[in-house]
Amino acid sequence: MPRFAFRIEYDGAPFRGWQLQEGQPSVQGTFEAALARLDPAAPRVHGAGRTDTGVHATGQVAHADLSRDWAPERLLMALNHHLRPHPVAVNACALVDEGFHARFSAIERRYCYRMVSRRAPWVHARGQIWQLRHALDADAMREGARALIGRHDFTTFRASLCQAPSPVKTLDALEIETLPVEGGGTELRFNLRARSFLHNQVRSIVGTLERVGAGALEPARVGHALAARERTACGPVAPPQGLFLTGVGYTDDPFAG
- The rounded radius of gyration (Å) of the Cα atoms in the chain is 19
Could you list the active site residues?
52
d(CA 24, CA 149): 36
Contact between 203 and 243 under an 8 Å Cβ cutoff? The reply is yes
d(CA 20, CA 13): 15
Contacts (Cβ under 8 Å, ≥6 apart) of 15:
25, 26, 27, 30, 53, 54
